Amino acid sequence: MSGFRNVYKNITDKFVSLRQYTHQLIFFMLFSCIVYFPLMSNRLVNQYDGLWEYSYYKAGKWELSLGRWFWLYLDRLRFNISEDPLTSLITLLCYCIGLVLILDIFGLQKKKTGYIAGALFLSNTAVSISLSYRYMSPTFGMAFLWNVLGAWLLIKFEKIWYLAVPVSAICISFGMGCYQANIGCACLLFLSFLMYTIAHDSYSIRQIVKLTAKIAAALFLGALLYILLMKAHLSVFEVDLSSYNGASSYSILNTVKKLPTSLYNAYFLFGFYYKNQYFKTNLLSGRFVYLIPYVLLALLMLTEESRLIKKNYLRALLFVLCAGLIPVACGTVLFIATDTSTSLQMTAPWALALPVLICLLATFDKLQTMFTAKWLMRLNTVVLLIVLYGCIYQVQVDQNAMLEGQIATKTIATEILDKLEDDDLLSATKTYCFVGLPAANPLFTTTDMYRMANTYAKFGAWWTDPACTRRSYESTFKHLIGVNINICSPDEYRRLLAAEEVQNMPIFPDEGCITVIDDIVVVRVSQ
């Protein structure tokens, strides 16, 4: 009985100790609310699934076919409602609690570095895009929180590992059941904490080996439990895994077979991400100041490595090995879904890498006392604030692009309805085909910020695939204007697009931009 009391006290003490991070939690929530106020106040969504599903969505067989079984329960917990600002606040709270747990892992309750690290992650486009998928943004947030919680439990309750390992595994399986890509967050935290233990003499090599074994056990059991629960849900609901984003490629054999390719992709995409190629994460990208923090972080890591070399060759070797595996940890999902392609909403682990490294460096006491390293740390803090400034304004650009695009798209759609009414072609019984994109119409106007934004934020320039285009137009009229428009099928769409008569039509609002072909009202919005 006394043993049970000790375990209970150990658990409660750890959770009670989180109270010391109250100020950080409040700061993170206020900061994120200010940064994302435009999105919440204007109920902004991206032009893809964010627009299609909008404020009411019930997860079902499609989500199960992607292996995201936990999503079903989250939607029902919210009555399938995703209205702002509440939905975005729930998501941001998940991210903020997760960040507090990360600070506790590294014991940064009194470090200003923790505030900067948290702000860097919260102002990242990985968070911004997750909020733009409003119908599933809490799923992104919970995926992050479950994985961070799994890492925190194993690390903080190492002494009662027989409880910590299975509970950590459960959290990781739940996180994967929400969104698989965020498993990289747990792997990144585990790897970073191993670097912490290697750099601190209070942990013996034997303890480090034991911790590594516990981490491996938690990840293995978590993945196994996720697969078992996924297969159980697939069986009950009679659903097969989809080939979309590599969901159907899950298998140990496939992971081993494609290991060399996955390793290459992990390192390539890590560098691709931090070079800001394709994904725009910082307005300072391409400027010299943007490179400085990475150079300084490398110098500080080398300083710690040189200290370890002088002290213990084995620790130095383990430290540099772990550092080299950071891209692999961030890209863990690439080893699971080997046929997946990387999209911006999958980049939370990559976005977390820099903040976690900042937290890790803040724990190296020797760097705080060595004269050169101490000044490098101070300089790095200043530069990180400048980088944070660029992150904040990048998500402002993206939010403004969504707003500008949404206004311009609604205006053109409203003008089309007016013209249809004038031509006596507006009816709930008629079928319509809208050819071209609103963003390509001469009347569509935006500022330079629209061109500076990420693709997801360029509202009105959606996918040109007929199935996607018809859904985007249908949702624009339904959700943004409140009019029920019957859109033709994708096959009819393709047939009309190929018709010479449609190809030669003038562009809206020119005369002849609307015609009727085979009882379908065709509107030429752009080329």
Could you please report the per-residue DSSP string of 306-335? HHHHHH-HHHHHHHHHHHHTHHHHHTHHHH
Model pLDDT, residue 201 = 87
Query: How sure is the predictor about 11, in pLDDT bands with cuts at 50, 70 and 90?
Result: confident
Indicate whether 14 pLDDT > 80: no
Model pLDDT, residue 341 = 72
d(CA 10, CA 358): 29
The H or E element spanning position 514 is: strand 514-517
- Looking at per-residue pLDDT, the higher value among 381 and 96 belongs to 96
d(CA 353, CA 283): 19
Cβ–Cβ under 8 Å, residues 333 and 143: no
Q: Which class for 298: exposed (0-12), middle (13-18), buried (19 or more C-beta within 10 A)?
A: exposed
Indicate whether 343 pLDDT > 80: yes
Average pLDDT over residues 484-499: 92
Average pLDDT over residues 49-74: 93
Average pLDDT over residues 278-292: 86
d(CA 437, CA 257): 42
d(CA 343, CA 278): 10
Computed over every residue of the chain, the mean pLDDT equals 91
Query: How sure is the predictor about 5, in pLDDT bands with cuts at 50, 70 and 90?
Result: low
Q: Please, where are the H alpha helices in 179-238? A: 183-199, 205-236
Indicate whether 262 pLDDT > 90: no
Indicate whether 6 pLDDT > 90: no
Q: Quick one: tokens of 206?
A: 């034997």
Query: How sure is the predictor about 307, in pLDDT bands with cuts at 50, 70 and 90?
Result: confident
Average pLDDT over residues 311-321: 92
Indicate whether 190 pLDDT > 70: yes
Say what percent of the chain tops pLDDT 90.
72
Model pLDDT, residue 250 = 66
- Looking at per-residue pLDDT, the higher value among 229 and 244 belongs to 229
Indicate whether 306 pLDDT > 70: yes
Average pLDDT over residues 54-77: 92
The H or E element spanning position 486 is: strand 486-487
Model pLDDT, residue 292 = 87
Rounded alpha-carbon distances, angstroms, from residue 284 to 247, 287, 352, 397: 35, 6, 18, 13
Indicate whether 119 pLDDT > 80: yes
Model pLDDT, residue 249 = 61
Say what percent of the chain tops pLDDT 70.
95
Indicate whether 370 pLDDT > 80: no
Cβ–Cβ under 8 Å, residues 82 and 56: yes
Indicate whether 3 pLDDT > 70: no
Indicate whether 51 pLDDT > 90: yes
- Looking at per-residue pLDDT, the higher value among 250 and 332 belongs to 332
Among 208, 57, 26, 216, CA closest to 138? 57
Average pLDDT over residues 431-445: 95
- At how many degrees (to 10) do helices 490-498 and 466-475 cross? 110
- CA angle 30-34-39, nearest 5°? 125
Strand partners, 486: 431
Model pLDDT, residue 365 = 73
Q: Quick one: tokens of 378?
A: 């101070």
Average pLDDT over residues 415-444: 94
Query: How sure is the predictor about 15, in pLDDT bands with cuts at 50, 70 and 90?
Result: confident
Rg, Å, the chain Cα set: 25
Average pLDDT over residues 461-470: 91
Query: How sure is the predictor about 2, in pLDDT bands with cuts at 50, 70 and 90?
Result: low
User: Which long-range contacts does 37-42 make (Cβ < 8 Å, 24+ apart)?
Assistant: 38/396, 38/399, 38/400, 38/403, 39/84, 39/88, 39/128, 39/131, 39/132, 39/399, 39/402, 40/84, 40/85, 40/88, 40/89, 41/85, 42/403, 42/406
Cβ–Cβ under 8 Å, residues 456 and 129: yes
pLDDT one-digit tens code per residue, 371-419? 677 788 888 888 899 999 999 999 999 999 999 999 999 999 999 999 9
Among 406, 520, 417, 494, CA closest to 458? 406
The H or E element spanning position 94 is: helix 86-105
Instruction: Find the range with the poorest average confidence among 306-315, 339-348, 469-478.
Output: 339-348
